[in-house]
Structure 1
Amino acid sequence: MTSDINYRIPVDSEDSQLSDSSDEEYLPCDTGAIESDYSDIESNDSDSSHPDDELSGRRNIWKSSLTNVPRVAPDWKGSLPFANKVKNPIYYFKFLLGNILPTIVQQSNLYSIQKDISRPLNLLLDELEQFIGILFYMSIINLPRARLYWTANTRIANVANIMSVKRWEFIKSCFHINDNTKACPFGTDGYDALHKIRPMLTITTNILKDITLGENLCVDEQVVPFKGQSKMKQYNPQKPKKWGFKFFLLCGNDGIVYNYEMYMGKILQAEGMPDIGACGNSVLRMVVAVPLNQNYKLYFDNWFSSINLLVILAQRGIQCVSTVRANRLKNCVLPTDQEIKKKGRGSFVEKKTVINGVELSVIKWFDNRSVYLMSSFIGAHPISDVKRFDRKKKESINVKCPAIVKNYNKNMGGVDLIDSLLALYRIHIRSRKWYHRVAFHIFDMMLVNSWLLYRRDCNLLQIPRKEQESLLTFKISVAEVLCKGNKSINSVTGNKRISVQSEYIKKCKKGTAQCLPNSEIRKDQFAHWPKYNDKKVRCKLPGCKGITKVACDKCGVSLCFTPANNCFTIFHKN
């Protein structure tokens, strides 16, 4: 649950809960959930995109609730997966990536040849993993420029020892996910604005949809900071990061992402669903990952909400709670803000109606300002007290709070939670290519999602919180395995770099010299184990005059293997 997780929330988080804009609609806040207006969607996303005519085609009759009996929420029919053990961090991360890495390797090599046939990239899967691992190290250790990780004064060994700066920059310049030659021209039927990253979006979303869902879900937007050139870039002055790409996410209240979609400038009708306008369609497109008739609880804010949307979801066995705008409640007569304000802080009014067999409750509650909420499974009762500060009395007071408000605030913050986690260690490497920014964001999101899955398994196995890895240590562990796991590190530090083969040829010209194994065998990085001999002999590394008892079991060559002279490593790499 989100209430069990405490994080340091950075100032530059894209978390909409953290915005303190006075232009935003007020939301009652027990846990800090504050919703924002969306002013950057196309014109068909306005209130007029939600038809006022109800699904039944008849006029709704809203009646005041005269009973204090709480509504009985339907039981959730799903269940969380059984966890028999906690797996290694790298397992969770690679599971969420699926087979996208081999696709990137293939397309990057193809793109390098399309750019310059005389300079192929020749990228390998191990190198791509090292490239991603370096990106993760860079997100943890922030430096203003990428080259500073390799320069002498600011050198970071975990980055510089893995790959040379020229090789890393060459991979970055050729990093590609899809074939440009297969893209349809703009204006044709098959045109796809997201063609450059389509394989990555398809593979990752298909994997996320297979994750077992929790009971409480939420749909909200996410902003990926970007100021480069792109037609899909959005501007929202109410966000901490005003320029960027917009994503729609389906998350659990613990932050785990189950589905996502990148906004391209137009929201299409969900397949197999009625067209209820852009705002409602965006929710219907997200819930394709939710099983039917399992009584999952879905939460969203007033930009998405409408009567038609709640009725459609309830008929599919998905119960909802949302804030709602007053002009989307047709025929529902509620007290004005002035009238309800006279009744005092904590006063509320509840109205109910039934549409196509779905009972809806609408509550208008006054705290500092009025707020409208609508639900298909919960109402105002039972009433509880919340603490609020009274400016006139200059003390904390108890304010009556409807059950729907507490339920909404408890479960609505899943997208904002993952936003705040992403902002802690975001890949900050800049690029003019928009698809680089999106791909790096997806790598970050899959990493955070894998950590949240790891935490869920730990909680299911009742592992104490102190024994669980933090997001920082989890990301460092994944980066280390990506850079060094089952891979050879080409750079050698602390020793003079020499060419063993050239020095051996020089030694042969001076006289007899012990035969060396073939260079392919000597540098194959496989089964070269040190063993001890009974007698001391001269080290066979050219240029070394040391005496040693250590020899390579595979090569049969005596070599120094001490802290001062690590000839064993130099012999098998240079």
Structure 2
Amino acid sequence: MVFLLMYPPTLRDITLEMSNLYATQTKGKQLNMSMDELLTFYGILVAAGYSTVPRRRMHWSLDSDVHNESISNAMRRNRFDEIMASLHFADNTKITDDPFFKVRPIFTELNKSYKVMPYPEWLSVDESMIRYYGRHGCKQFIRASSTGYMHHMEPYGGRHTLLPETGLGQGPSVVLGLAEQGEVPQGCKFHHDNLFTSLSLLDEMTKRGYGSCGTMRENQFMRLPRGSSEVLTQGEKLLVRWKDNNIVTMATNMEKNYSETVVKRWNKERRAFDQVQQPQCIKLYNEHMGGVDLHDQQASRYSITIRSKKWWWPIFAWSLNSALVNSFYFYRDVMGGTIDLLTFSRVVAQSLMQKFGTKPLSHGRRSLLAASVQDQARYDQDSHWPINTGNRFLRCRLCDKRTTFACEKCNASLHIECFKKYHGQ
């Protein structure tokens, strides 16, 4: 399964070992989670992303309006709760001052497994935010991505961010650090926004054999008609200022000679499209910059809805969704698959639950909702008829003794003698 290639065995082994250890250390009991149970746990979380209910435990409810047979047949609800309460990725007795200590193995192992996809020519660098509902100082997230497939990621933790310091500032250090730690081959072309771009970055990227193109912050500008541009060359760098709806300032080391292309822009006054000259570097930037946003969009489509009070849970849940998206791109672009992301997610979830899950011997009691719905029909005194089920092991709903009879409408096991009293007649 391609998903298990992206969410690698090394990370699964760490999770299994640390979760069993955590249960012993903090709860004083053996969790004894197996690898099959962990994979089933993953499958249930993925399924909860596209089959949502307001409360986690409703996935195991027997009520017909919320019952999920795939989930309830894969793992008992109480066992799922035990695994969720003990899930861990690091030994708490070896904690460091790294604010991402508890989830650091996730980033390390996923970055290794994501290298299975070769780097394309065009890459984008951007920041991303993981949805978080609590209070924690480290929520920003920076990563490198191409056209939707994520190759490398690094969480932002202030001075604890594991990226080399270049002396060029935080933004340029991120781009250079991701290129270095991600082992990006020379010749690749990076696109980034004004958070990362500086002229010193372009000089350093040129020395290292990388292309670099990004927007720059510009506070003062002249009034120019749409399509107007100003160009400045400095060594290997090309600086362009172009008037669209707003002024756009771009710096690149990928073009020695300035060139333009024609684009369409809507003219409100004429109520028609105008042909406008656009710098070629801006056209390429627009084409290749959106990789991180595309990955974010795909990962949030069927994001895991099961929540926990642990601060790191959103990062773990996001990692599963991210690995699922990367698996989908690998399946589509390398293996030639044709199904969409939703179908792919369902195949992954069902495969994990059916292959590694264990069907419980019995299900729990009826919910209060089911009892209430049945009681509504119990006293309506309409079309209640006794039938012989032929089953010798039924228990009378009223006296709790064995009977073979039941109410045809209520489906309640009853003696003939108890039938009238049960229905309030």
- TM-score > 0.5 by shorter chain: yes
Equivalent residue in structure 2 for 1:278, among 170, 175, 179: 170
Q: Does 1:169 align with 2:81?
A: yes
Q: Does 1:251 align with 2:145?
A: yes
TM-score by length of 2: 0.80
Equivalent residue in structure 2 for 1:205, among 111, 116, 119: 111
Q: In the alignment, what sits opposite 1:301?
A: 193
Equivalent residue in structure 2 for 1:264, among 157, 164, 170: 157
Q: In the alignment, what sits opposite 1:94?
A: 5
Residues 347-404 of structure 1, C-alpha deviations (whole Å, 9 max, x = no match): 10110011xxxx1000000011111001001267432221111122222211111101
| In 2: Cα distance, 1:280 partner to 1:262 partner | 16
**Offset at residue 125 of structure 1 (A):** 0.8
Residues 421-446 of structure 1, C-alpha deviations (whole Å, 9 max, x = no match): 01110012111111111111111101
Q: What SS does the aligned partner of 1:401 have? A: strand
Equivalent residue in structure 1 for 2:269, among 382, 386, 392: 392
Q: Does 1:481 align with 2:344?
A: no
Change (3 A) 1:299 1:227: same
Q: In the alignment, what sits opposite 2:409?
A: none
TM-score by length of 1: 0.60
Q: What SS does the aligned partner of 1:274 have? A: coil
**Offset at residue 290 of structure 1 (A):** 5.4
Q: Does 1:469 align with 2:339?
A: yes
How is 1:437-452 mapped onto 2 (pairs within 5 angstroms)? 437-452=314-329
Change (3 A) 1:267 1:350: farther
Q: Does 1:143 align with 2:53?
A: yes
Equivalent residue in structure 2 for 1:183, among 74, 95, 98: 95
| In 1: Cα distance, 2:3 partner to 2:25 partner | 34
Q: In the alignment, what sits opposite 1:404?
A: 281
AA of the residue aligned to 1:94 = L
AA of the residue aligned to 2:169 = G
Q: What SS does the aligned partner of 2:360 have? A: coil
| In 2: Cα distance, 1:379 partner to 1:156 partner | 60
Equivalent residue in structure 2 for 1:124, among 34, 46, 62: 34
| 8 Å CA contact retained: 1:350, 1:380 | no
Gaps of at least 5 residues in structure 1 are 1-89, 185-190, 233-244, 328-335, 494-542, 545-574
AA of the residue aligned to 2:37 = E
Q: In the alignment, what sits opposite 1:225?
A: 131
Q: What SS does the aligned partner of 1:99 have? A: helix
Q: What SS does the aligned partner of 2:140 have? A: strand
**Offset at residue 192 of structure 1 (A):** 1.4
| In 2: Cα distance, 1:194 partner to 1:484 partner | 34
AA of the residue aligned to 1:337 = F
AA of the residue aligned to 1:155 = H
The number of residue pairs the alignment matches comes to: 363
**Offset at residue 323 of structure 1 (A):** 0.5
| In 1: Cα distance, 2:279 partner to 2:294 partner | 24
Equivalent residue in structure 2 for 1:318, among 199, 210, 213: 210
AA of the residue aligned to 1:276 = L
AA of the residue aligned to 2:339 = E
Change (3 A) 1:293 1:474: closer
| In 2: Cα distance, 1:437 partner to 1:121 partner | 23
Q: Does 1:428 align with 2:312?
A: no
Gaps of at least 5 residues in structure 2 are 364-391, 394-425
**Offset at residue 229 of structure 1 (A):** 2.9
Change (3 A) 1:218 1:478: same
Q: What SS does the aligned partner of 1:294 have? A: coil
| 8 Å CA contact retained: 2:130, 2:140 | yes
Q: What SS does the aligned partner of 2:151 have? A: strand
| In 2: Cα distance, 1:347 partner to 1:469 partner | 44
How is 1:468-547 mapped onto 2 (pairs within 5 angstroms)? 468-485=338-355, 487-491=357-361
| 8 Å CA contact retained: 2:124, 2:289 | yes
Change (3 A) 1:269 1:444: closer
Residues 85-121 of structure 1, C-alpha deviations (whole Å, 9 max, x = no match): xxxxx2343344231112111111111112221x321
**Offset at residue 301 of structure 1 (A):** 0.3
| In 2: Cα distance, 1:390 partner to 1:470 partner | 37
Structure with greater helix share of residues: 2
Residues 319-357 of structure 1, C-alpha deviations (whole Å, 9 max, x = no match): 111111237xxxxxxxx6334x1xx21010110011xxx
| 8 Å CA contact retained: 1:217, 1:296 | yes
Coordinate RMSD, CA, aligned? 2.1
Residues 177-236 of structure 1, C-alpha deviations (whole Å, 9 max, x = no match): 11111113xxxxxx211111122221111222453101100100111100113221xxxx
| In 2: Cα distance, 1:291 partner to 1:175 partner | 31
AA of the residue aligned to 2:346 = I
| 8 Å CA contact retained: 1:302, 1:323 | yes
How is 1:13-28 mapped onto 2 (pairs within 5 angstroms)? none
| 8 Å CA contact retained: 1:292, 1:317 | no
Q: Does 1:107 align with 2:1?
A: no
Q: What SS does the aligned partner of 2:30 have? A: coil
